[in-house]
Amino acid sequence: MATLRQLALMKVQEREMIIPQAPSLKISDYFGTQVFGLKEMQESLAPSVFQRVSGAIEKGTKIDMSTAEEIATAVKSWAMSKGASHYTHWFQPLTGSTAEKHDTFFDALSGMEKFKGSALVQQEPDASSFPSGGIRTTFEARGYTAWDPSSPIFIYDQTLCIPTIFVSFTGEALDFKTPLIRSTEAINNAAVDICQFFDRNVRKVTPSLGVEQEYFVIDKALYATRPDLVMAGRTVFGHNPARGQQLDDHYFGSIAQRVKQYMKDFEIEAWKLGIPVSTRHNEVAPGQYEVAPLFEEINKASDHNLLLMDLMEKVADKHNLKVLFHEKPFAGLNGSGKHNNWSLITDTGVNLFQPSNSARENLQFLCFLVGTIKAVYVYADLLRASIASAANDFRLGANEAPPAIISVFLGTTLNSILDELEQNGNVKIEKGDNMYMKLGITKIPEIILDNTDRNRTSPFAFTGNKFEFRAVGSSANVAGPMTALNVIVADVLKDMKVDIDNEMEAGKEKKIAIVDVLRKYIKESKHIRFEGDGYSDEWAEEAKKRGLSNLKSTPFALDALTTKKTADLYKRHRVLNDKELHARHEIRLENYIMRVQIESRVMGDLALNHIIPTAIQYQNKLIENANGLKGLGLDHRAAIETIEQVSKHIESLKANVGEMTEARKRINKEEDIVKKAKQYSTDVKEAYFEPIRYAVDKLELLVDNESWPLVKYREMLFLK
C-alpha cells in the first residue's frame, strides 16, 4: 500500500495550473472597487454628512449618531449593490490575526435588509474567547468594537467589513489597533513641535509604512501530510536538501509557474480591495517569495498587511497551494521577515527622512534622523521585545538576517557626516559664518537613494529616505512593533524639543542650539550605530563590549515590558496604561508557552509514532539481510554498522523524547508565568529540540527512501 507521502507526491504530479481572470486588463478599472472610500462616500452622502465623515477621518473628530445613521444607510446600499449580504466588525485581538463576527443585513421581523448607525459604530462581539491578559476578567466582563473611520470599509467574501478597535467597557485596549492609533497621535504631537522650528505651516505629521512581506509556498497535499506544518507552522524535522539555497533552475522552474499564477491571482484580489501591491518575483530561498505594496499611512498599511495575508491564504487554497507565513518553516534555509519601511510625512508633503538640497531642511532631516537613532539606542530592549515571538526566535540571531542585537545602520556617507558633526564639536561658529558649510551639513544632498549601501544584516537600517525595521517577523501583526517605534521616537523628539528650547533660553541662536543638541545626542547614542556584518561573531563580541543586549529567547526579551522605564514611557504618551501593558506581557508569554508546548508535543508524537516505527522496520530488514549474508559466509560488517547507527539514533530519540515529556510535566506545575515561559525556553526548547531533530534527520539519511513517512525537504521545495 502506498504511504501518505507517496499518495501526496502523486497528487502533486497531477496538478494543473489555474489561470486567474482579471476583471479588466487595466488595473485602474477595478482598483479599490470593493472599498467604500472617500470617493464612494462623496457620491452617496449629502455634502454636509460627507464633510463630517471626512473631518473625522482627517482630524479624528467624533461622528455623531445621526451622521452614523446616514453613513450606514449609504454603505448598506453600496454593499448590497456589490452582492454583500452580511456585515462584520473587523478587529485585531491580541492573538495576532483578525477576528470577525458576521451578521446579516436581513431583518426577519420586518422582512427587509437593515443596517443601523449603531451597528456601524459599535458592536459587542462575543469576546469571551479572545485573550485579554486578565483585563476583562478583572475589570469588566465584556469588550466592544468601535468603528475606526481612518481605515476604509471594504467588502470581503460578500461581507461588508468595518475596521474597528476592540476595547473593554472600562476603555482598556484589547487589540493591536488601538495602541497603534494612540501612538500615531503621540508621534504627531512630538514631530510637529520639532517641525515648528523650521516651518510654521506644519500642522500634522503622519507615519508611513510600506511592508515587504516574505513567505513560502508549497503544495497543499504535501502540507497536509506534515503534522508539524499543520500544527506548528514549521517543519520540526527534515534533512536539508543537498542543493540547499543554491537552487537548480530546472527544478525550480516548474513550481514557479503555478506560484506565478497564484501571485497574479492574489494581486488582482488585493487591487480590488485597494491594497497597492506590486509583487516582486525574487526568491531568496527555494520556495520563498516576497510581496510589497506601496507605502501608505501607517494604520491603513497595517490593516492592509493583515488583510493581504488573509487573502493570500484564501487564494492559495484555490491554487492547491499553502502559503507559510511562519518565520522559519524550514531549518537551514533563509527565514521569512516583514521589512517595515517607516517614515514621517508632514501635511505639507515633506518626508522628514528625505535629505534635500536646502541646508536648512537638512538640519530638520538631521533632527529626525538623530532622534530616531537615539530612540533606538535608549529603547533597544523595548524594540527587541516588540518583535519577540517563539517563531521569530528561530530567525533572530540564528546566523542569518538579522541578529537579535538591535543596532542601526546608516551607510558610509551619512555615518561620516554624523561622525564629523560630533568630532568637530570644537568648531566655533562665528557671526556671519556659513554654519552649514562649516559643519558639513551641506554635504547631505549628495547621498541619494542608490548611494545608501545595502547592508542586509542590519535589523534597523536607514535606506535613503526611510528607516527599514527588518527584524519584524513574517507572521507578526506589524501594529505591535510599529506602536513601539512610534512611541520611542515620539519620546526622544519630545525631549529634543525641550533641550533645544533650553539652549535657546540660555541665549543661543536657534540653529546653533539645534546643532548643539544634535551633537550631544549623536555622542550619547553612538554605540547603537553599526556598519559591519551583523552575522559575525566579532559583532556579538563587540556589541557586548558596547553594552548592547543580545537576547535570543522571547520570554527573556519580554522582560523589557516589565520595567518602570517602559511603563512610564507608554503612560507618558497615553499609549498603554499599566494594566494594558501588563496584559500584553502576559498574553505574549502565554502564547510563547503554548507554541513551545505544541512544537514539543508534535516532535514527540512524530518521533514515537512515525519515525521510530519506520526505523525499527528498516532495522529488521537490515538484521534479516545481515543474517542472510552471514549464512552465506559473506562479509556483513556494513549491515551491522548501519544497524548500530540506526539503533543509536532510536535510543537517543526515545531517551530525549521521554525526558522532554518529563520536563514539560514538571514545568507545567510552575505557577509564575514568567518563570514557566523561561523554563520552556531553556529546559524544553534549548535542551531537547536540537538533539531530537538531529537523530531524526540522521535517520532520514539512513532509512530507505521508500518507507520514510514524512515528505522530504527536496520534495516540498523543488517539486513540480
Q: 67 vs 372, which CB is nearer to ligand ADP?
A: 372
Q: 312 vs 710, which CB is nearer to ligand ADP?
A: 312
Site for ligand ADP in 78-137 (CB under 6 A): none
Q: Which three cell numbers stand for residue 110?
A: 420586518
Q: 339 vs 588, which CB is nearer to Mg ion?
A: 339
Question: What is the widest separation between alpha-carbon atoms in the chain?
Answer: 103
Q: Which three cell numbers stand for residue 179?
A: 495602541
CA distance 471 to 549: 15
Q: 127 vs 209, which CB is nearer to ligand ADP?
A: 209
Report helix, strand or coil for 101: strand
Which one of 343, 452, 483, 614 is in contact with ligand ADP (CB under 6 A)?
Answer: 343
392 binds ligand ADP (CB under 6 A): no
Contact stretch for ligand ADP (CB under 6 A) within 89-97, 202-210, 418-426, 702-710: 202-210
Dihedral sign, Cα of residue 569, residue 575, residue 578, residue 584: negative
Q: State the binding partner of 573 from ligand ADP, Mg ion, none, CB within 5 to 8 A by kind.
A: none
CA distance 509 to 503: 8
Contact stretch for ligand ADP (CB under 6 A) within 339-347, 527-535, 643-651, 710-718: 339-347
212 binds ligand ADP (CB under 6 A): yes
The answer to whether 560 and 484 are in contact (CB under 8 A) is no
- Single-letter code of the amino acid located at 657: V
164 binds ligand ADP (CB under 6 A): no
Q: Smallest gap, in angstroms, from Cβ of residue 348 to ligand ADP?
A: 15
CA distance 463 to 453: 8
597 binds ligand ADP (CB under 6 A): no
CA distance 114 to 628: 80
Q: Which three cell numbers stand for residue 652?
A: 537517543
Task: Write the CB contacts of 122 (distance below 8 Å, at least 6 apart in sequence).
Answer: 144, 145, 146, 147
466 binds ligand ADP (CB under 6 A): yes
Report helix, strand or coil for 467: strand
54 binds ligand ADP (CB under 6 A): no
Q: 140 vs 533, which CB is nearer to Mg ion?
A: 533
In terms of Cβ atoms closer than 10 Å to its own Cβ (0-12, 13-18, 19+), residue 190 is: buried
CA distance 225 to 588: 29
Residue window 569-588: x/- pattern of binding to ligand ADP, with contact defined by CB under 6 A: --------------------
Which one of 465, 549, 642, 661 is in contact with ligand ADP (CB under 6 A)?
Answer: 465
Q: State the binding partner of 208 from ligand ADP, Mg ion, none, CB within 5 to 8 A by kind.
A: ligand ADP
Size of the site for ligand ADP (CB under 6 A): 15
CA distance 266 to 332: 28
Q: Which residues bind to Mg ion, rule: CB under 5 A?
A: 339
Site for ligand ADP in 527-556 (CB under 6 A): none
CB atoms within 10 A of CB 635: 10
The answer to whether 198 and 169 are in contact (CB under 8 A) is no
Which one of 210, 233, 397, 402 is in contact with ligand ADP (CB under 6 A)?
Answer: 210
Q: 465 vs 707, which CB is nearer to ligand ADP?
A: 465
Q: 85 vs 351, which CB is nearer to ligand ADP?
A: 351
Q: Smallest gap, in angstroms, from Cβ of residue 411 to ligand ADP?
A: 13
Q: What secondary structure letter does DSSP report for 187? A: H
Measured in degrees and rounded to the nearest 5, phi and psi for residue 616 equal -70, -40
Q: Which three cell numbers stand for residue 87?
A: 456585515
Q: Smallest gap, in angstroms, from Cβ of residue 472 to Mg ion?
A: 11
Q: 149 vs 293, which CB is nearer to ligand ADP?
A: 293
208 binds ligand ADP (CB under 6 A): yes
CA distance 617 to 40: 66
Q: Smallest gap, in angstroms, from Cβ of residue 468 to Mg ion?
A: 5
Tell me the residue nearest to ligand ADP as measured from the CB. 210
Which one of 88, 288, 341, 475 is in contact with ligand ADP (CB under 6 A)?
Answer: 341
Q: Smallest gap, in angstroms, from Cβ of residue 101 to Mg ion?
A: 36
DSSP per residue over 284-310, as a string? SSTTEEEEEEPPEEHHHHHHHHHHHHH
Q: Smallest gap, in angstroms, from Cβ of residue 323 to Mg ion?
A: 20
CA distance 49 to 399: 56
Q: Smallest gap, in angstroms, from Cβ of residue 331 to Mg ion?
A: 24
Q: Smallest gap, in angstroms, from Cβ of residue 340 to ligand ADP?
A: 8
Task: Write the CB contacts of 606 (distance below 8 Å, at least 6 apart in sequence).
Answer: 227, 228, 236, 237, 696, 710
Residue whose C-alpha is closest to residue 600's, from 679, 538, 534: 679
Q: 459 vs 604, which CB is nearer to Mg ion?
A: 459
Site for ligand ADP in 278-297 (CB under 6 A): 292-295
Q: 167 vs 180, which CB is nearer to ligand ADP?
A: 180
**Interface with ligand ADP by CB under 6 A: which residues?**
208-210, 212, 292-295, 341-343, 351, 463, 465-466
